[in-house]
Amino acid sequence: MVRSVVAQLADEILSSLDPQQRSVATALKGPVCVIAGAGTGKTRAITHRLAYGVDIGVIDPKRV
């Protein structure tokens, strides 16, 4: 039951992202370099990466 709730929350976090932003948000190992123009969603992708990582337990929220 807990796992399905976590998976649902993770899906909700990613649902508003386009495919390129989603690839940034789900790349949780190592650093990610996002190069794009103004207004393309870089900050949105990175903040969703943090939220997704915290939600699935890969990132410690105390270290953000």
The pLDDT tens digits for 40-64 are 999 999 999 999 999 999 999 999 8
State how many domains the chain has. 1
Q: Can you give the residue range of the structural domain that contains 23?
A: 2-63
Write down the H helix ranges in the chain: 2-15, 19-25, 42-56
Give the tens place of pLDDT for each residue, 6-51: 667 889 999 999 999 999 999 999 999 999 999 999 999 999 999 9
| Single pTM value for the model | 0.84
